[in-house]
Structure 1
Amino acid sequence: MRVLSFPNALDIAYELGGLGPVSQVEERVFPDGEVLVRVPEADEGVVLVARLYPSVNDNLIKLLITLDALNDMGVRRIVLAIPYMPYARQDRRFRPGEPISSKTVFKLLSQLGVSAIVTVDLHKEYVAEYAPRVLVRNVYPAEEFAKALPNVDVVISPDFGSVRRAESLAKALRVPYTYFEKYRDRNTGAITLIPRQELDLRNKSVVLVDDILSTGGTLVEACRSARTLGASAVYAAVTHCQLLKDARERVRSCVDRLVCTDSILNEFAEVKIGPVLRGELEVVL
Structure 2
Amino acid sequence: MRLYYFKNAEDLARQIAGALGLDAKLVEERDFPDGEVLVRVEPAREAILLARLYPDVNKNLVKLFLALDALSDYGADRVVLVAPYLPYARQDRRFRDGEPISVKFLLSHLRQYPVSHLIAVDLHKPYIGDYVAGLRVVNVYPAEKYAAAVRRWSVDVVLSPDAGSLHRAAALAELLGVPYNYFEKFRDRETGEIYMKPRGDVSLQGKSVVLVDDILATGGTLVDACKNAKLLGASAVYAVVSHCQLLGNAREKIKGCVNALYCTNTIPCEYSSLDVSEDLAKSISAIL
Q: TM-score, normalised by structure 2?
A: 0.97
Of the candidates 203, 207, 210, which is equivalent to residue 204 of structure 1? 207
Residue in 2 that maps onto 1:284: 287
**CA contact 1:3–1:19 (8 Å) conserved in 2:** no
**CA contact 1:2–1:42 (8 Å) conserved in 2:** no
Distance in 1 (CA, whole Å) between partners of 2:47 and 2:136 is 15
Q: Does 1:192 align with 2:203?
A: no
CA shift at 1:273, angstroms?
A: 1.5
Q: TM-score, normalised by structure 1?
A: 0.98
| C-alpha RMSD over aligned residues | 1.0
Deviations 1:8-29 (A, max 9, x none): 0011111112241000000001
Residue in 1 that maps onto 2:266: 263
Distance in 2 (CA, whole Å) between partners of 1:220 and 1:42 is 47
Residue in 1 that maps onto 2:168: 165
Distance in 2 (CA, whole Å) between partners of 1:12 and 1:198 is 43
Distance in 1 (CA, whole Å) between partners of 2:15 and 2:83 is 14
Distance in 2 (CA, whole Å) between partners of 1:157 and 1:76 is 41
**CA contact 1:90–1:100 (8 Å) conserved in 2:** yes
Of the candidates 25, 28, 44, which is equivalent to residue 26 of structure 1? 28
Residue in 2 that maps onto 1:112: 113
Q: 1:42-61 residue pairs with structure 2 within 5 A? A: 42-61=43-62
Ranges in structure 2 where 5+ consecutive residues have no aligned partner: none
Residue in 1 that maps onto 2:251: 248
Residue in 2 that maps onto 1:9: 9
Distance in 2 (CA, whole Å) between partners of 1:218 and 1:245 is 14
Q: State the SS of the aligned residue for 1:149.
A: helix
CA shift at 1:43, angstroms?
A: 3.1
Residue in 2 that maps onto 1:135: 136
Q: What amino acid is the match of 2:57?
A: V
CA shift at 1:187, angstroms?
A: 2.1
Q: 1:202-241 residue pairs with structure 2 within 5 A? A: 202-241=205-244
**CA contact 1:2–1:19 (8 Å) conserved in 2:** no
Residue in 2 that maps onto 1:79: 80
- How many percent identity over aligned positions? 55
* Equivalent residues, number: 284
Distance in 2 (CA, whole Å) between partners of 1:114 and 1:198 is 47
Distance in 2 (CA, whole Å) between partners of 1:51 and 1:179 is 30
Q: 1:139-150 residue pairs with structure 2 within 5 A? A: 139-150=140-151
Q: What amino acid is the match of 1:130?
A: Y
Taking a change above 3 Å as real, the CA distance of residues 72 and 19 of structure 1, as seen in their structure-2 partners, is farther
Q: State the SS of the aligned residue for 1:15.
A: helix
Q: State the SS of the aligned residue for 2:111.
A: helix
Q: State the SS of the aligned residue for 1:104.
A: helix
**CA contact 1:51–1:84 (8 Å) conserved in 2:** yes
Q: State the SS of the aligned residue for 1:186.
A: coil
